[in-house]
Structure formats: structure tokens, C-alpha cells
Structure 1
């Protein structure tokens, strides 16, 4: 699910965390080239509005980092399974990219989407999340209904459409689309858009 965000008024402070210094330096350099972002030191957690975490796989330590890191987290992984993607979404990740797909522009878009409250997840992983089980799901949509409007909005989110595109397709304002998604995530105690789509797919509501 590729989401983008509106233009921000001030520079967004972003930190890069990676075990490999070369990966960290490369990602930081790519982000410095974007006019809306400013890279801050990785150890300055208070200053970073978004943290890009680059890892080889999603394990318990990575999920703990996501849960405890201040601000939004965009996770860049060498490769991952649908189950690992679901765990990352449940932990609160605001962006999920495979390393091979994390070029400068796509990485910057994921960071800006996280700032706007959107979530970036590869479309093929969203498709595979259908039927994927998590060890400890926090909430289930099974047995809980969605209105036609909510289903229409969430279906377009699942297809990877941006907020503005969804608004045009459904003849809503962008604010209405944002409100609908917020209501869904709040009502079912979900973390973000990707979390909502994953559970709706698992529950057979989409």
C-alpha cells in the first residue's frame, strides 16, 4: 500500500538506525537529498519525528524497538514474510519497505507518509496478509460490521490509493476519507491504516 502525504510546512527531522554503517550512511545520504527532510543523529531520539530502521529480518528485538521508539518508525527489511509484516504492523510500524525497493524517492515518500499518519506497505504483502495469523492479535474484526462507506474507503486503501485519489473516486473530501479511516482504527483499536486493512482482509470484510 503506497501512501503519500501532503506537503509539510517545516522540515521533518528523521533519524536512521542500522547495524551496518554503510547502510546507515547510504540511507541518510538519500534522505538528505529531499527538501522536506533533515537528518538528525540516530541517538537523538527526542529530535527525530521519524526513525528509519534498517534490518535484515523482523525479530523480537526489532519489534521491541518499534514499540519503544519515540515518533513514527519506517522499517526497511532485507526481506520478510507476510507473518513478519503483520507483526510489524501490529507493533506500530508506520512504513514497511523491502530493502531492494527502498530507493531515495520511495524512502522519502514513506517517511512523509508516516508524518501524515498514513502507512506504507508493499501491495503484494497486503494481498498475502489475507489469512495470515499473528501470535497475539490485539483485536479482531470478525463479527463486527463495516458500513458501506467504510468498506469502500478501506478497499481503496488496500488497493494502494492515496487519500486524495480515494476522495475523488468516492466524491468525498480528503478530510472525510481521513475521518473514516480514523473512525475504523479507533473503533476496533487498531494502530494504523495497514493494521486495519490486514484485519479486514483476515476477517473477510474486504
Structure 2
């Protein structure tokens, strides 16, 4: 049996920190650790994503044991998502949407290198682009060399779905989905699924 993933919580409000820690501790796949103990992932709880928060993400990721970061924010814009992922976050959730199951799932996905974010936020990035850039052209991903199938798979990866779930949604085999992700990472010289999502967001392909 695999050991539970170790997760810590970083929040300015100690009561909120304890509450989220208790929520995460309810998952048999997670063990909540305290300050000073090495963790596999850290849930950073904030109101808004600003430069200070992005510095926290970078500092956390730059620790010797390289814990993953799941950002739990009151408000998230498409621009926030791009900046947070570029800073190293591998999970983005709004606090009002963070049920125990969804938050635990985002942490577990981050630990294995996957990137999770709200589906509607991906739609807003796709339709509107960031707040400082023009909207994404519908054919942008095609011009970058992504087929319709690759785009569909990558979008579901970004939403945090696992290989079997993606296969069911798109009526593909799990082997096909794995092959599509592998082809994308190889073609663009990316390290893993999370890097592929971050690349696609930065290149404004999602």
C-alpha cells in the first residue's frame, strides 16, 4: 500500500489554516504535516493573487524538497492563472468551490505532476485571453500544431482529469490518451503533463 501524500497548509488566518488542514486530513490518501516537516505539497490560501503571493509560490517551490503548490484563492482571473502557473503552482481553486473531495483531488494531482484549475477559468482564458492581451483566436492551437484531438485531451488534463476519465469522456482508449500526451510533450520538448498545461496557457493555446 502506498504511503499517503504529505500536505501542509499555509494561510494567514490560523483558524482557516486549521480548518483546511482538518478537511484535508479526512482523506485517507493524505497526511497533514506541520511547519518544519517536509511535505509533498502545500496548499497556499489567499484572497487575491498578487506579487507577494507569487513570491510565496516561488519560495515554496524552491525549497530543497521541491513541494508542489496548490493555490486556494477567493478570486481568480485568467491573468492570475497564467501568473500562478508560471510561478510554479500546479493547482488552482476558488475557495467557494473547494469541497473536501475537490481540494484533496487537486493536491493529489499536483503531487503526481498534474495541473488542475476550474473548467470555467480555462474557458475564459480561451475566449477572452488575459486581461492585458487580446482574445485568443479559435484557430490558435491549430496554428501551433495541435490537432483537435490533442487540444481536447490537453484541455481535460488541465481540468485535472486522469487518463481513464479522459478516455471515457472522449471515447478513446487509455492507451490513446497516454500516447497523445506523450506526443505533445515530445514535440514541444516538455517535461511532463503539468509542464504541457503551463506551456499551453503561457502560449495562450487553452
- For these two proteins, the number of residue pairs brought into alignment is 190
Structure-2 change in CA distance of 1:179 and 1:60 (3 Å) = farther
What CA distance in whole angstroms lies between the structure 2 residues aligned with 1:29 and 1:85? 26
Query: Is 1:28 matched with 2:21?
Result: yes
Deviation of 1:78 after TM superposition, in Å, equals 0.9
1:1-206 counterparts in 2 under 5 A? 9-44=2-37, 47-69=38-60, 70-130=66-126, 131-133=128-130, 143-147=143-147, 149-157=149-157, 161-168=161-168, 169-173=170-174, 177-178=177-178, 180-185=180-185, 187=188, 189=190, 191-199=194-202, 202-203=204-205
Give the unaligned 5+ runs of structure 2.
Answer: 61-65, 134-139
Q: Give the number of the structure with larger relative contact order, counting CA–CA contacts within 8 Å between residues 6 or more apart.
A: 1
Structure-2 change in CA distance of 1:107 and 1:144 (3 Å) = same
Structure-2 change in CA distance of 1:110 and 1:193 (3 Å) = farther
Please state whether the residue corresponding to 2:6 is helix, strand or coil. strand
Given that residues 185 and 196 in structure 1 are in contact (C-alpha distance below 8 angstroms), is that contact kept between their aligned partners in structure 2? no
Given that residues 86 and 134 in structure 1 are in contact (C-alpha distance below 8 angstroms), is that contact kept between their aligned partners in structure 2? no
What CA distance in whole angstroms lies between the structure 1 residues aligned with 2:98 and 2:5? 19
Please state whether the residue corresponding to 2:70 is helix, strand or coil. strand
Given that residues 94 and 192 in structure 1 are in contact (C-alpha distance below 8 angstroms), is that contact kept between their aligned partners in structure 2? no
Structure-2 change in CA distance of 1:195 and 1:77 (3 Å) = same
Q: Cα deviations across residues 126-146 of structure 1 (Å, max 9, x unaligned)? A: 00012423879xxx9785312
Query: Which stretch of the first structure deviates more once superposed, 12-21 or 156-165?
Result: 156-165
